[in-house]
Structure 1
């Protein structure tokens, strides 16, 4: 396998170490190369819309020309809030070609979180999908952008018919109609450090952070996954139901298709019952995943035609070891390109060699160091430096910061600095703290273990405990809260749980009003599944950090404590008191979280 794919592996490895600051690169040029390579081949499929590379490239060029005509230039930012559909892709590529950075707002954000994400990047314009204008309008008076700089794509095939948009927005499909379809000259002046988009991450504290994802980093992913790991051909089709405000969708799955001049089949959202029907309908040969997606597919009733599909490779992260081999066998999948990466990180692993139950290997400098979870800090040796774990041991993954593996950081310089560990193994060195526990399994391969600190992962999303605590503490009659993630048997990640101290007895507390508050201010994945009500003050450390280890261990188990617990069951609109019978049902898989 290695020798048969050696050209791609070499090319991808070279691109992964690309560091020339003067060579034109990036998403826009990659689309243009794919267009030259396969002009009449499928570029994007969405429902009944089929676009060739020639058509898609021309469309994105019109977007680029219009954005230039209204004064946008290299280094400016635009806010982009559009669900998965071709208009999102054309917007991002059009902006990329002229060096404008797209802030990819999480489409589930509402209220103060949406305001924060929007204003954080100081956009010069906003391009909104009509499906999300209600969310924008709720907070529009708080958004720091002139009223005449809001543009909208109608929620339909706007190439076929530009449609109508709500009052207060320019119809972008009408605006670009007479713009140039030729490749803009600016696309040849995009370099390594030029920002491509902002991706929002919960990080470890507070409201979302905007991570700078530049063209150089995109080029490295394009090489590593497109040429070395996924290795599609131009007649392949990549199916992606993942949200494209995340790097796994926007970068990994799409770049893998672009590198080969292959097609991207885009779905608005994931449906376990419709997934394989869509794969067969659109002749897909690959798909992108997160662990929850695979679990949901695996939980569907077995069918005689499960393996009757053309999929030969899948790419993503979080496939559970407990279903890995069975999943491959059931659906007839040859290769699993499991990966580990983060939107802001400088280290990544890829399962290039198709081993089972591993995130693969990393060609860049990294270390897995001993970490004291109780003290929440690295273990230091007698020399004052950190200590690498032995083979087979788990520890904190850190990525070496060098010219070839930079840490581009966040919009907030203080947050950037707080993510860097210095003088790790020698005086003057610097490493990015991933906040993730990994196990060293040898041969530069690793297995993902868990996340550390004040962030946990649920429904494929990173949840900031501090952000949820701020929203909870702002609710009526909630005095204090502490948020953490807990494991539910046979689910991926950790479900949100909060210990709360109330201003009144829990029996008379208005849980319906609390639910409405949480749904208004938080995306669905961040709303706590469990609430543990306490009358005592929340335990803290000497530095006023919440003591969460014991809470995580006791979780929602009624046999381990006497506090009342409330649960938001799937499909319900309000919390209800947890009983031993409901707990037994949760642990036994009766409820599908």
Structure 2
């Protein structure tokens, strides 16, 4: 970080008028998101019902050429919710929802929220063993599957614990060329939208029986070890995002239109972006997926005034050739996370974006930051109690002083972010109690206090502002997704020619996050290894973001006294062929196998000749 990124008093003083003008919104946001009263009726469903009553004719959601007003959207969700309830689904039941970004996804998850069911929002790129794990993990009472993902579901159906009588299919009237159903699929599917057509369009009575601690979604995260974990995202937490981002930070109005091409199985799109839209009574414009070549045309076509982003999205946009149309847009604010300091100002200037509402939050975390004062290169400030403490990278733990207390870092310094666990900032944890306990520090600054371990390194920028630096442990972020090294290792170790593997993330110049790299010990000579079939196996078994970009083949890996692999030397060597005397291979863009890294290939990677 450049010294100019550290916030000085004169810089902060110039923002005081903005800070003062934002106080009413901040107060309202905190009030709306206040979850101390556990008997208060809240929830996603209530937000929709209020908008339907007060702003029923306003466009709620646009999906391509399809559009729904808030009144229409509310009535549709009511029919689906009342129908699901009639099949025996009750409050607290988990319902797996597997639908790509489209109107029906929002209808399904809102319908579940209204009757108190918990939508388990499975990553739509998951397949095979990982998909089976994610579905069975939440002990589902039903599954709602989009026709575009029918084949993926049917491939693992025999291993699933979903009740046979509650497997609902949702037609895809927008996307053509869908894969045919498996020949062994039988007739178990129930057409959800047809079945709910005659159900009542009135607000379900259950929507008046939803309280802050009631779970709303399960959002899956790779966490730090193992297969995906299901994070509990309750209605109170949705209200916090709705209040804090909607009223205090993003501040949309009914005439605003927010374009979102991020997947709605992530909290960024679902809670932050959509929550901001609902708080402003604005319009959500959905895109099935991100396309760098069509992005700005879509923005202009839909007259979008805002959009959601992750850092990788911004990098892809900035890498495209400049166009005279770059500033031809009505965008006044963007909201997301991961915009790198190296392109932050360039992005704002090139595309004429006046306000970057960068934020920091995690699906499981108990605190968040938002850039309400529009400083550059920061995740902003946090209204709740947190600390950035000294961290010992070698021993992988926070530093404690002679009294056993953690030590806050000074201005400009890097440390581990922790958030106090309190009534205002509870930590709801995972479906696995043991994993929940592992994320809690105790006796941090005083006896008995409890703090959430974010697993993230932050830089203290001063004036309660922070800058994201990196993730710790066995998770890295690539293509806007968290990747569990353990999950990838499990898949790799299942290959017949692999004896042992170590997976970690490495930085490629001019990219966001860390690309996957795997050290492999194989059963034969490296020259006999079938890289093409190995890559095919990985691409079939893993989401694209989790497939290692680099491989290093070796004989023995350095271990600690407790036989844990020492990843630090491998991370330090990265894909440099001169650092360790082992061959390195790379999956170059547009190829179907791994290529041996020579000096010329290495120079090309470092000089940006390949677009990863």
Q: Secondary structure at the match of 1:551?
A: helix
**Other-structure match for 1:583:** 602
**Other-structure match for 1:386:** 406
1:476 Cα offset (Å): 1.1
* TM superposition score normalised by structure 2: 0.94
- Retained in 2: the 8 A contact 1:242–1:249? yes
Aligned equivalents of 1:212 and 1:471: distance in 2? Answer: 26
Gaps of 5+ in 2: 1-17, 176-180
5 Å-filtered alignment, 1:366-515, equals 366-515=386-535
- Which of residues 149, 161, 168 is equivalent to 2:166? 149
Aligned equivalents of 2:34 and 2:189: distance in 1? Answer: 43
1:418 Cα offset (Å): 0.6
**Other-structure match for 1:552:** 571
* TM superposition score normalised by structure 1: 0.97
Aligned equivalents of 1:249 and 1:569: distance in 2? Answer: 30
5 Å-filtered alignment, 1:59-458, equals 59-156=76-173, 167-458=187-478
Aligned equivalents of 2:130 and 2:198: distance in 1? Answer: 37
Aligned equivalents of 1:328 and 1:512: distance in 2? Answer: 41
Aligned equivalents of 2:559 and 2:426: distance in 1? Answer: 35
Aligned equivalents of 1:227 and 1:546: distance in 2? Answer: 47
Aligned equivalents of 1:18 and 1:4: distance in 2? Answer: 25
1:582 Cα offset (Å): 1.4
1:384 Cα offset (Å): 1.3
Aligned equivalents of 1:183 and 1:526: distance in 2? Answer: 41
**Other-structure match for 2:3:** none
Aligned equivalents of 2:440 and 2:358: distance in 1? Answer: 26
How many residues matched?
Answer: 587
- Which of residues 53, 58, 61 is equivalent to 2:70? 53
RMSD of the TM alignment (CA)?
1.3
Q: Secondary structure at the match of 2:341?
A: coil
**Other-structure match for 2:51:** 34
Q: Secondary structure at the match of 1:34?
A: helix
Gaps of 5+ in 1: 159-163
**Other-structure match for 1:565:** 584
Aligned equivalents of 2:468 and 2:358: distance in 1? Answer: 11
Aligned equivalents of 2:581 and 2:19: distance in 1? Answer: 57
1:420 Cα offset (Å): 0.6
Which digits, 9 at most, give the CA deviation of each residue in 1:484-528, with x for residues without a partner? 000000000000001000000111112222122212221110011
Which digits, 9 at most, give the CA deviation of each residue in 1:330-382, with x for residues without a partner? 11111110000000000100001111111000011111110011111111101
Aligned equivalents of 1:231 and 1:237: distance in 2? Answer: 12
Aligned equivalents of 1:566 and 1:329: distance in 2? Answer: 38
- Retained in 2: the 8 A contact 1:49–1:157? no
Q: Secondary structure at the match of 2:156?
A: helix
Point out the more displaced range, 12-21 or 96-105: 12-21
Aligned equivalents of 1:431 and 1:317: distance in 2? Answer: 23
Aligned equivalents of 2:600 and 2:516: distance in 1? Answer: 21
Aligned equivalents of 1:135 and 1:9: distance in 2? Answer: 44
**Other-structure match for 1:528:** 548
Q: Secondary structure at the match of 1:421?
A: strand
**Other-structure match for 2:10:** none
**Other-structure match for 1:161:** none
Which digits, 9 at most, give the CA deviation of each residue in 1:431-455, with x for residues without a partner? 1100000011111110101111111
1:157 Cα offset (Å): 5.4
Aligned equivalents of 1:51 and 1:586: distance in 2? Answer: 46
Q: Secondary structure at the match of 1:193?
A: coil
1:544 Cα offset (Å): 2.7
**Other-structure match for 1:22:** 39
Aligned equivalents of 1:497 and 1:549: distance in 2? Answer: 13
1:543 Cα offset (Å): 2.5
Point out the more displaced range, 468-477 or 119-128: 468-477
